[in-house]
Amino acid sequence: MSSESSAAILRMRMVNRDLADAGITDERILNAFMKIPREDFVPPGTDLSTAYGNHPLPIGFGQTVSQPYIVAFMLQMLECESGNRILEIGTGSGYQTAILASMGMKVVTIELLPDLAARAKKALRAIVPEADISFIVADGYNGWTPAAPYDCIIVSAAPAIMPEGLEDQLNPAEGRMVLPVGEWHQKLISITRSGDNIVMRESLPVRFVPLVKPRKE
């Protein structure tokens, strides 16, 4: 069997068993996971069954690509739609960026590490060439104000405490954000903004790499 067709089988199995059977019901999310080849975002030489396992994977520089279920779960919490503007903090491998873009979102993605950003950009240009993605290489600890406001913000690394100013970058009309918060014991937090009113909800315990807070010069 060609590696392309085995990848398609593993991808379908991942979507059915690790996402749909585990409570991800949004067809738009499931369809996006069916489309994006996860093997193209993990280090070369990773075998296919490892690439499609429901666990995080190392991508170099001490970073990981998140577990498929957690990415899908965060997207289901976020309720972000085609045409929405989304800020993704922590481009990493670019896998989640590809999922967001293939759902039709306009993505601003920010990454601290230039080497990871360059690799992700190359993979994304090849896999979703038509996508609306702006790549920023900078510190995104406090978001990215030049392109705000955003309909949605998704954070792929965990700050120890909630960073200041992120919710101000949300669209005042129902802007939404999902992020992990905590050091060792982390929780997913969702935030919804309506004007000046902010509603915060806690969800699953999770384990993300830390959101780095670079020292100010």
Stretch that binds ligand SAH, among 31-39, 112-120, 166-174, 176-184 (CB under 6 A): 112-120
User: Residue 84 or residue 93: which is nearer to ligand SAH going by CB?
Assistant: 93
State both tokens at 105.
């979102």
Stretch that binds ligand SAH, among 44-52, 57-65, 127-135, 145-153 (CB under 6 A): 57-65
User: Out of 5, 49, 66, 156, which one is annotated catalytic?
Assistant: 66
Strand partners, 191: 177, 200
Stretch that binds ligand SAH, among 19-27, 100-108, 124-132, 139-147 (CB under 6 A): 139-147
How many residues appear in the chain?
Answer: 217
By CB under 6 A, name the one of 7, 39, 64, 189 that touches ligand SAH: 64
Q: Does 186 bind ligand SAH (CB under 6 A)?
A: no
Pattern 140-169, binding to ligand SAH, x per CB under 6 A?
A: xx--------------xx------------
Residues 6+ apart with CB under 8 A from 10: 48, 49, 51, 52
State both tokens at 199.
């509603």
Q: Is 6 known to be catalytic?
A: no
Based on its alpha-carbon atoms, the radius of gyration of the chain, rounded to whole angstroms, reads: 16
Exposure of 116 by Cβ count < 10 A (0-12 exposed, 13-18 middle, 19+ buried)? buried
User: Residue 167 or residue 195: which is nearer to ligand SAH going by CB?
Assistant: 167
Strands across the sheet with 152-155, in order? 133-137, 106-111, 85-89, 152-155, 173-181, 186-194, 197-206
Q: How far apart are CA 49 and CA 66, in angstroms?
A: 16
**Which positions are catalytic?**
66
Return residues touching ligand SAH (CB under 6 A). Answer: 59, 63-66, 89-90, 92-93, 95-96, 110-113, 116, 139-141, 156-157, 209, 211-212
